[in-house]
Amino acid sequence: MGSGTRSYRDLQEHLEALSDAGLVHRIGEKIDKDAEMHPLVRWQFRGGINEAERKAFLFTDIVDGKGRAFDIPVAVGALAASQAVYSVGMLVPVAEISGKWDHALANPIAPREIENAPCHEVVLTGSDLEGEGNGLDALPIPVSTPGFDSAPTLTATNVITRDPETGGQNMGTYRAGLKATDRLVVRMATRTGGAEGYLHWQKYKGRGEDMPCAIVLGCPPFVAFMGPQKLPLGIDEMEVAGGLAGEPINMVRAKTVDLMVPAEAELVIEGIIDPHVLEPEGPFGESHGHIALEEFNMPMRVTAITRKAKPVIPSYISQVTPSESSTIKRVAYEPLFLAHLRDGLGIRGVKGVALHEPLTSLLRVTILTIETGVPKTEIWRALNGAAAFKSDMSKIVVAVNDDISPENADALLWAISYRSNPVEDMNILAHRGLGHGPKREHGNDEDGTLLIDATMKSPMPPLALPARQYMERAKEIWERLQLPPLKPEAPWHGYSLGDWTETWEEDARRAAAGNYLDNGAKTLKRQQPDLVPETSVRDIEDGWD
């Protein structure tokens, strides 16, 4: 048994660090968890607030829809309301997060077992779990999508199950809807290949045995970041969390089930899942941007609730993206995609991978940034390689050059419109199983993927906006006049795309300096008789090649 001494932060220490960084909204006003809490936080994702300005929310005066008060605070957005929030949890700047993940995966550290844990300061079993206001009903679990969801739902979960054959544990983030003071229903994804918890459930069902389960709320950030990442099957998340922390993660044996749980967790719900019985769960607002309708999922009988004496319960903002859960995934997924293409497949010229987040949940649209001049064969290798990286992602894959911002849908449509020929630069891949969506594929249903090469095939004229120096000069005037604050959107200035000469550059400089008459005197000498209007000067005059 270890001593439990640690240097990594638990959730409450993380919240203190966020507060020190000015990244927490502390809400002391009375807030209804069933009708007001998530809609309030949702506004920072749907109210035109820049990603960099999003913060965590900590609610300390919570009631339910019936006016009943709770004495446990709730934190929403505390792990990844923004990349800045995420970086505080990772203890490195945003630019170094990818490298830290790479190091942790390559250098895992096994957890250590301790005997006395903060998550066991209060232990509730038996009659303590029964009756209104007790058990699960004593917890301030929010309704995520008021007006559509059928129950308060645990979202910021780390759900622990054990493989009955190998004994190895898995930890995934699965939602769980409350049904009674001692019963909830867990949705372990049946996506292509199956979430590992679901594969465990299948094994227990085949053996005719109940499945022990522990739903952990409020893990230390290094542990909490594991659940949503969808690491390859068989990888021990706690070892990777140790790699992030640079030391073993403290674990303790659960009180009523044969599982190990993070010792510094805020709260743990222990229970048993009978794999031969399913119960309707949902509706619930899903990350694909639609309500997931009622489906049969896994009921769990609660055998214990253990917690700190004064816990804080976390809740994810999920549903329509961008959201907290999509930010967590995006920071890790994009570097994984890039490493797959550049290192795994050895494709030249891939400069970046962006997963479209708003509404499409990172899964449907993948944008590849490719260096100008890369051979066409490499562009198509990159497009096909991205489509093959993950079975439930990349329904649309677009390759663009680095002058196109992947964050700007207008710029993407501009590139597709003027830099791609649908006959030559688009291809459709059949036999895809993209199962995450409002009409998930079952059985033999299939989907497809559209690949688009929207890179420049040859030099093009400049972007038709004033050149950078003139836009910057105008911005100074704008701010001096105290006009409304600007939020520049790329592209915000013109630039050369290769088809531009020094002659035209000099003419433009003269015009901007007020000397257009000099240009007119030059073109007077170049007049030509008997031409069709709009004939290019390159077709008539020498020296333009």
Domain extents for the chain?
98-315, 345-453
Distance CA 337, CA 368 (A): 10
Q: Output Rg (C-alpha) for the chain, integer angstroms.
A: 28
pLDDT of residue 433: 66
- To 10 degrees, the CA torsion angle through 349, 355, 358, 364? 110
Q: How does pLDDT run along the chain (545 residues), one tens digit per residue?
A: 656 689 999 999 999 999 999 999 999 999 999 999 988 988 888 777 888 889 999 999 999 999 999 999 999 999 988 889 999 999 999 888 878 888 888 899 999 999 999 999 999 999 999 999 999 999 999 998 898 889 999 999 999 999 999 999 989 889 999 999 999 999 987 665 567 889 999 999 999 999 999 999 999 999 998 866 666 666 788 999 999 999 999 999 999 999 999 999 999 999 999 999 999 998 887 766 677 788 899 999 999 999 999 999 999 887 766 677 777 777 767 877 888 898 889 998 999 988 887 777 667 889 999 999 899 999 999 999 988 877 777 889 999 999 999 888 889 999 999 999 999 999 998 887 665 555 554 555 678 889 999 999 998 888 888 889 998 998 999 999 898 888 888 888 888 988 899 999 999 999 889 898 999 999 999 999 989 888 999 899 988 76
For the question of whether the overall pTM of this predicted structure is more than 0.85, the answer is: no
Q: Which residues pair with 58 in a beta bridge?
A: 26, 75
Pairing type for strands 267-273 and 295-307 reads antiparallel
Q: How far is CA 186 from the centre of its chain?
A: 21
DSSP string, 101-117: HHHHHHS----EE-SS-
Instruction: Find the angle CA(395)-CA(197)-CA(89) to the nearest 5 degrees.
Output: 75
pLDDT of residue 342: 86
CATH code 3.40.1670.10 for 345-453: yes
pLDDT of residue 306: 98
Distance CA 17, CA 262 (A): 21
Contacts of 345 by beta carbon, 8 Å cutoff, 6+ apart: 381, 382, 385
Structurally, at CATH architecture level, domain 98-315 sits in Roll (2.30)
